[in-house]
Amino acid sequence: MRTFLTAPVLRRALIASALVSLAAGLLAWAMGRVAWADAIWAAGTAPVVAGLVVSMIRDIRAGRLGVDAIALVSMSAAIALGETLAGVVVAVMYAGGNVLEDVAVARAERDLRSLIDRAPRMAHRRRGSSVDDIAVEHVAVGDTIVVRAGEVVPVDGLILGQGALIDESALTGEPIPVTRREGETARSGTVNAGETFEIRAAATAGESTYAGIVRLVTAAQTAKAPFIRLADRFALLLFPLSLAVAGGAWVASGDPVRGLAVLVAATPCPLILAAPVAFIAGIAQAARLGILVKGSAPFETLARTHTVMFDKTGTLTVGGARLAAIEAAPGESPEEVLRTAASLEQASHHVVAAAIVEEARRKRLQLSIPTLVRETLGSGLEGEIDGHVVRVGSQQLVCGPRKPAEWAERALRRAAWRSALCVFVAVDGRTIGALLLGDELRRETPRAVQALRAAGVSRIVMVTGDRADAADIIGAALDIDAVLADRSPSDKVEAVVTEQRLKPTVMVGDGINDAPALAAAGVGIAMGARGASVSSEAADVVILVDRLDRVSDAVAIAGRTRTIALQSIVAGMAMSGVAMAFAAIGWLPPVAGALTQEAIDVAVILNALRALAPGHRFGRRPMPAATAMALRQDHERMEVDLDRLREIADALDDARGAAAVALISEANDIVSRRIAQHEHDDEARVYPDLAKYLASGPGLGAMGRAHREILHLARLLARLAGSLDAVDADRYLIRDAQRVIESVESLVRIHNAQEEDIYEQAVSGSA
């Protein structure tokens, strides 16, 4: 239904006028004043007709003509034929339909509008000992901004002091506040969920995260989808069809009122109602999950996605460097190797240095302050830590030209087959260990790829500028149809254009170098959580939360929205056709036809609004997102223990006697006290609760089988460790313990990933 006035107040005034005229005319008719009633009803219809004439003139000048013409003809014909009651009923229903559409659209846009309404407008700037309130537009880069408890962060900035507890749900959709440490970024639009903290502004208000979101939301509310324009063109067919059926009914019956009844039954058209309401509702649903779509056009294209192309680094993988392993020299502690390296790397801004420092802080190691630091570009650092000369970097810088020790050669081999970077650490000229750093799959990547298949995507391609060997390792771990490696930004564009020529193609990336490819795709999706503003500007869809599975969510929501719109159109048109047929044969008089058509419109709008909610299987409620988040965080806390088990297994390569016994005993303590206890808790507490959200028990039964295997390995390790002493710790027993420890570590990681897949399915209601 096309609104014939732009001001909601005027539309409400017209519906009020029509309702008053209808009620007053009925009162006059009940008092026997039929002439008065006809005059009142005609007077109530006239303003609606006048508003519709003005609207149609504007549309014709713009080259548009829709089925509102049917409403104009039916109301005018009703007055001309003396069927004024039918005319005023059509006026009430038509004007009421416009108001109903306003309400539906407002309901659908509420989540989008709430993002705009909560945009920060003031900031507290600290200068010396004083704090001044200023407009957020006046914040400059480098200003110190105070964020009080419960306030919205006004601009992007780096956290100062001890850190902060931040509610990021407005941007990411994640309901649980997260702790951000000193030096990490607090993004504008998030909320301080803890004590007052300070940030150093890293961007102005106009360049901050939230300003970009507001621009995206504005674009999302204004663009019109091709599907909606197609619906308008189909709507044009109804106008001549309705006139033909009405004329035929008039000729066949000899009664012009019957022709009027046909026109009334065809007014207004659910074809125009369904698409806009459904698409706005779908965009709002996506926004709740941190998926911002720049208008209905890319949203409609998403629904027809055939091919999805992914960048690798930072998209399919976590991006940057991540500590994969610590190779300690014989007699050295892995934790001391990491602590020493991280202490020196605090003086560097390199991405590798940041990864090493981040890992040390995650393990809560006490870092020392480096002094006399010298950096060799591309090779590493040298400086003093606690009075000792420390070198961290390449083998050539740290070890010099001499032949590497056996353990160092082993570390280099492991780095080679893992496609990892090997960073050596030396203290006072003695090499104490090496850190292996590399990229790795995001935790949710396998699930995201599977979800895309389930959403109907037929082809998935990885296109990356990385080496073929590193790309093939990632591609082999996923259900990917093709891997395109060693591609420059221009090569990526060419690959995207080639795929786009064949089928509707989506490109997903996160870096500045991905921007041209994002712009070339049918739909470009930017992983915008890390602040890649250039790629976000080039993309049609921006995912604000750093989770790849939101890509499949976007495709699924778009597909479901398009299906709902089609359902509404087909069902509405079918019901309108039945009503027109009944009117043509005289079974539906004009007044009843108007009421019937309005009932159809209401049904169409209500069905279109289903796109606001996620699709769940009948009779099953989804798991609360906060519950799934808590379970995932429990797994994240286990990562430290699993990392330590991996370190112990590596250290057992060279350990003998009492040193081996101590390592095996430590591993047994970790497995029995923490990992085994976690599996027992899953069986006793988590799984019974999870079963309420799942369709059946076989999936959990398979997970229970993994629990039993983990507990079995835990018992084997406990038996081995319980009877082990330095005398018995020969190389065979050490090898047995090493195998059990490695099995536990690998099995628990796989098991946790499988459980998280089940959690996500339970949240989405698809399990």
Which residues does the annotation mark as catalytic?
Answer: 311
Long-range contacts of the stretch 737-742 (C-beta < 8 A, 24+) = 737/652, 737/660, 737/664, 737/667, 738/649, 738/652, 738/653, 740/713, 740/716, 741/645, 741/648, 741/649, 741/652, 741/664, 741/667, 741/671, 741/717, 742/645, 742/646, 742/649
**Sheet with 164-167: strands ordered across:** 178-180, 164-167, 191-192
Query: Distance (Å, rounded) from C-alpha 629 to C-alpha 676?
Result: 21
For residue 498, with 0-12 CB atoms within 10 Å meaning exposed, 13-18 middle and 19 or more buried, which class applies? exposed
Residue 201 three-state SS: strand
Q: What angle do CA 333, 336, 338 make, to 5 degrees?
A: 115
For residue 416, with 0-12 CB atoms within 10 Å meaning exposed, 13-18 middle and 19 or more buried, which class applies? exposed
Cα 289 off chain centre by: 5
Query: Distance (Å, rounded) from C-alpha 456 to C-alpha 451?
Result: 9
Confirm if 598 and 74 have CB atoms less than 8 A apart: no
Residues 6+ apart with CB under 8 A from 150: 191, 192, 193
Nearest to 134 by CA among 147, 121, 116: 121
Q: What angle do CA 181, 178, 750 make, to 5 degrees?
A: 105
- The conformational region for residue 319 under phi > 0 = left, psi -120 to 50 = alpha, else beta, is left
Tell how strand 164-167 and strand 388-393 pair up.
Answer: unpaired
The H or E element containing residue 566 is: helix 549-584
